[in-house]
């Protein structure tokens, strides 16, 4: 076992060696531009992109032509929301989302509000889940889009995506989901779930940073978007710019691996996660699990250590890579809006750590992390015992 131990796989994942091996030839040997149609270098690059597109589509049960390559989930979310809003503005100006979405969705919605769109930000329950009835009540004759993330990036809560897709379909409304944390972790089927637009990124599933994709439904309904970027008309005119062939190849290979290994990997990670959780809760008082005990991402564990400052706790755990929440919040000391949305006070939100297990996490590492966390919490509480309130729960 090597130190430090990485347990922040929600923020990013290391590139799988198999992914790297697939990418390497496309940096030098097969370096052609996929849009160069007059010679073998371009043909080889285009062939690689076409194969990757099929690999990505297979993971989502989509068609290859429905996959648009982007720079990542933030761009995909922006293209989905802004592109759909502009295209269907003549039909309405109302969008439904939730208060716990990723910043790339929330900030996009706030930008659309400045352009005259009306946004309904639905609350979540104490588990971080959206109410189906609240979605139904929010729909108006001017609603054109529902955007609800597949699973939360902080507390791992899995949303009822198929049921939301059914509601959207019944009302003739487009349904977008930010699946950055979900693709490759649990099964997603855009057909069965009624998803019209789906965003994700490579660096959450052991592919490189700087590459992602957007699923855009081609029929029933045929979704049209106004592009964000103007240029050479790449990616069906939706995303102009020279394709990142090595990154796309890596994303395709990562999706192929996930399709083959996801059931076994998810079972292994959920078992390790449960072992870590059980160990912490059996050894410590005044700790609380945030989110659903079961209906959560298999690699996610979000715990509040009442009476402790999470930043101080992380300093005591300098040999372990953890986080206090999303890596995408610009204001590092701001209390997590996700935790506040599920009912935590600022103090409790600031006492919370997120554990993100991953493909390369071992049982030996979990045992080490468990021992170190328990040790650090006890030491910090001994230094300031008055800060610990009555126990808030053993688990949930």
Domains, the chain, in order of start with CATH, read 5-12+262-380 (3.90.1150.10), 17-257 (3.40.640.10)
Interatomic CA distance for residues 196 and 15, integer angstroms: 29
For the cut 50, the answer to whether the pLDDT of residue 392 exceeds it is no
Q: State the sign of the Cα–Cα–Cα–Cα dihedral 15, 21, 27, 30.
A: negative
Question: pTM (2 decimals)?
Answer: 0.94
- 384 pLDDT band, cuts 50/70/90, is confident
Q: What is the pLDDT of residues 62-72, one digit of tens each?
A: 999 999 999 99
Residue 334's pLDDT is 82
- Stretch 14-33: mean pLDDT: 96
- Is the pLDDT higher at 386 or at 378? 378
Residue 34's pLDDT is 87
- Stretch 109-134: mean pLDDT: 97
CA atoms within 13 A on the CB side of 319: 12
- 390 pLDDT band, cuts 50/70/90, is very low
**Beta-bridge mates of residue 130:** 124
- Is the pLDDT higher at 389 or at 316? 316
Residue 160's pLDDT is 97
Q: What is the pLDDT of residues 164-215, one digit of tens each?
A: 999 999 999 999 999 999 999 999 999 999 999 999 999 999 999 999 999 9
Please tell me the least confidently modeled range out of 30-39, 50-59, 332-341.
332-341
Determine what percent of the chain is predicted with pLDDT higher than 90. 88
Known catalytic residue: 255? no
Interatomic CA distance for residues 95 and 112, integer angstroms: 9
- Stretch 327-349: mean pLDDT: 81
For the cut 60, the answer to whether the pLDDT of residue 332 exceeds it is no
Q: Is the backbone of residue 266 left (phi > 0), alpha (psi -120 to 50) or beta?
A: alpha
Residue 195's pLDDT is 98
- For 345-384, letters b (16+ CB in 10 Å) and e give eeebbbbbbbbbbbbebeeebbebbbebbeebbeebbeee
Q: Which of 79, 75, 25, 69 has its CA nearest to residue 252?
A: 69
Residue 383's pLDDT is 86
- 328 pLDDT band, cuts 50/70/90, is low
Which residue in the block uniquely carries the two structure tokens 């989905």? Answer: 80
Residue 235's pLDDT is 87
Residue 236's pLDDT is 85
Determine what percent of the chain is predicted with pLDDT higher than 70. 95
Residue 48's pLDDT is 97
- 374 pLDDT band, cuts 50/70/90, is very high
Interatomic CA distance for residues 368 and 164, integer angstroms: 40
Selecting among 109, 129, 255, 328, the annotated active-site residue is 328
For the cut 50, the answer to whether the pLDDT of residue 145 exceeds it is yes
Is-contact 198 190, C-beta < 8 A? yes
Pairing of strands 197-201, 174-178: parallel
Torsion of CA 369, 370, 371, 373, to 10 degrees: 80
């Amino acid at each position: 076992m090597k130190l430090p131990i990485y347990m922040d796989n929600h923020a990013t994942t290391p590139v799988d060696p198999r992914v790297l091996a697939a990418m390497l030839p496309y940096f030098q040997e097969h370096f052609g531009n996929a849009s160069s149609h007059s010679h073998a270098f371009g043909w080889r690059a285009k062939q690689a992109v076409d194969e990757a597109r099929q690999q990505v589509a297979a993971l989502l049960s989509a068609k290859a032509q429905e996959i648009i390559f982007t720079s990542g989930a933030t761009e995909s979310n922006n293209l989905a929301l802004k592109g759909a809003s502009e295209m269907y503005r003549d039909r309405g100006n109302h969008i439904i989302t939730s208060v716990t979405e990723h910043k790339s969705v929330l900030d996009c919605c706030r930008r659309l509000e400045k352009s005259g769109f009306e946004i309904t930000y639905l609350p979540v329950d104490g588990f971080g889940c959206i109410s189906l009835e609240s979605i139904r009540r929010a729909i108006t004759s001017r609603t054109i889009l529902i955007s609800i993330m597949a699973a939360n990036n902080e507390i791992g809560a899995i949303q009822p995506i198929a049921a939301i897709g059914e509601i959207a379909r019944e009302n003739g409304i487009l349904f977008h989901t930010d699946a950055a944390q979900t693709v490759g972790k649990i099964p997603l089927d855009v057909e069965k779930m009624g998803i019209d637009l789906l965003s994700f990124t490579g660096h959450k599933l052991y592919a490189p940073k700087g590459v992602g994709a957007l699923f855009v439904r081609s029929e029933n309904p045929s979704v049209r978007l106004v592009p964000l970027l103007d240029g050479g008309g790449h990616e069906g005119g939706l995303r102009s710019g020279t394709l990142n062939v090595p990154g796309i190849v890596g994303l395709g290979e990562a999706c192929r691996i996930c399709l083959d290994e996801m059931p076994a990997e998810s079972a292994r990670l959920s078992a390790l996660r449960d072992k870590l959780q059980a160990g912490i809760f059996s050894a410590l008082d005044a700790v609380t699990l945030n989110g659903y005990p079961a209906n959560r991402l298999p690699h996610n564990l979000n715990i509040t250590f009442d009476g402790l400052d999470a930043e101080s706790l992380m300093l005591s755990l300098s040999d372990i890579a953890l986080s206090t929440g999303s890596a995408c919040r610009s204001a590092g000391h701001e209390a997590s809006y996700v935790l506040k949305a599920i009912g935590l006070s600022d103090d409790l939100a600031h006492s919370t750590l997120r554990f993100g297990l991953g493909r390369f996490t071992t049982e030996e590492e979990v045992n080490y992390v468990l021992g170190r966390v328990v040790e650090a919490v006890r030491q910090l509480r001994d230094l300031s015992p008055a800060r610990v309130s009555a126990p808030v729960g053993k688990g949930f």
